[in-house]
Amino acid sequence: MGTVSPRRRGLGDLLGDRSGWVFALLRRFRPILSAGPFTVVTRSDDVREVLGDHEHFTVAHYTPKMAEITGPFILGLDDTALYRYDHAALRAVMRRDDVPAIGHEVLAAARTRVAAAGAGELDVVRDLADPVLDGIVASYLGAPGPDTATQLRWARDLFEHIFLNASNDAAIRARALADAAEMRPHIDGLIAARKARLATDAPVPDDVLTRLLQAKEQDGGLHDLAIRHNLIGLITGWIPTVSKAFAMVVEELLRRPEELAAAQRAARTGDQQLVASYVFEALRFRPQTWALLRVCAADRVLAAGTGRETVVRAGTRVLVATRSAMFDGSVVPDAGRFRPGRAWGDYLHFGHGLHTCFGLQINRVQLPALAMALLEGGDLVRAGDLRWDGPYPAGLRIRRAGRS
């Protein structure tokens, strides 16, 4: 990824461990905090209420940024006819029965990366997560970048502008627009090349791009421009978030020697389900995001009939504190304790409601697969601090115990 730039880290990342006590106080004394144009929602029931009400709490604020990047895609569309059409078209080609094969491919690729490090240090971001995720995007979506570094830059810069650039920083926007100007013709070229192969009956991979183009021929499907919009959206939503989530998991386990040792024992016995329970519990303590942003479209009474009942006015920007909600002891059993094997419903890693992460099922296998490959060898120890490039982990080096 090159030299780490002086880009600013996000608020949630800067708060880190220090945010826990702040949100604990808010949950107890001001669970719905309104301050000027913002409202912060901290309790589990209220977080789920906001995320479950897509009519009042919208994602339409992302649409203008998407429009200047490429065009609308499902991550930033409300429950419109376009959303429903594109969502159904993508669901038809990104099938649940693809998920096991994705898990196997991620595990195999990750094992190759870990083995290549041998007795030396391994950077779990640059040497493991980033190239493996880039590879699965290329093979499953059929949308490789010109090279891994370029694909990562495109995805991260676009994600930062669309979803994290709440202050509309001009430098962040300029980076994203420049990258989008490179990415659009690249994806158009992939689409054109695949169409040409399909037209000649040449062998083609059974990936998402092929399926989208075949569906277009059979029943209308998505037109080429919509395919480009959604491929860019999928890449943008996939690589940065999963890479960051994996770095957060490893960082949290490194800070918990007993839990790390237990997770490694599970990996060595091949128990990927148990490894997954450590992964997602670690991610609860150190998630890839602390909150989701929604905008209130019309006045709405939140937590009606409770002592915290609040009127949220139209135009209010609502920070939906998913990390805080996962520590709400009124809903989450033994919330302050690291407890693998929790019910999946205790987690909000991938959102809730209409905009639950589109890749939820894939994430439930690819994150544990990455972890399996890393954990199943010798005992891990930290070889460097977690480094950042703006809102993204830039590196986290580990080595095996007893190695120098």
| Token representation of residue 363 | 């994430």
Cβ-contact 351, 243 below 8 angstroms: no
pLDDT of residue 218: 83
Q: State what percent of residues in the chain have pLDDT above 70.
A: 95
| Residues 164-191 as b or e (16 or more Cβ within 10 Å = b) | bbeeeeeebbebbeebbeebbebbeebb
Q: In this model, does residue 5 exceed pLDDT 50?
A: no
Q: How close are the terminal C-alpha atoms of the chain, in Å?
A: 25
- Give the model's pLDDT for residue 81: 94
Residue 179 CA, chain-centre distance (Å), reads 20
Percentage of residues in the chain having pLDDT higher than 90: 88
Q: What is the pLDDT of residue 377?
A: 93
Taking the C-alpha atoms of residue 152 and residue 161, their distance in angstroms, rounded to an integer, is 14
**Distance from the Cα of residue 138 to its chain's centroid:** 17
Mean pLDDT value across residues 223-230: 95
Instruction: Please name which of 280, 367, 343, 352 lies closest in space to residue 99, comparing C-alpha atoms.
Output: 367
Give the C-alpha separation, 74 to 83, whole Å: 6
Q: Please state, rounded to an integer, the average pLDDT across all residues of the chain.
A: 94
Name the DSSP letter for residue 142. S
The answer to whether 55 touches 297, Cβ cutoff 8 Å, is yes
CA dist., res. 173 & res. 283, Å (int): 29
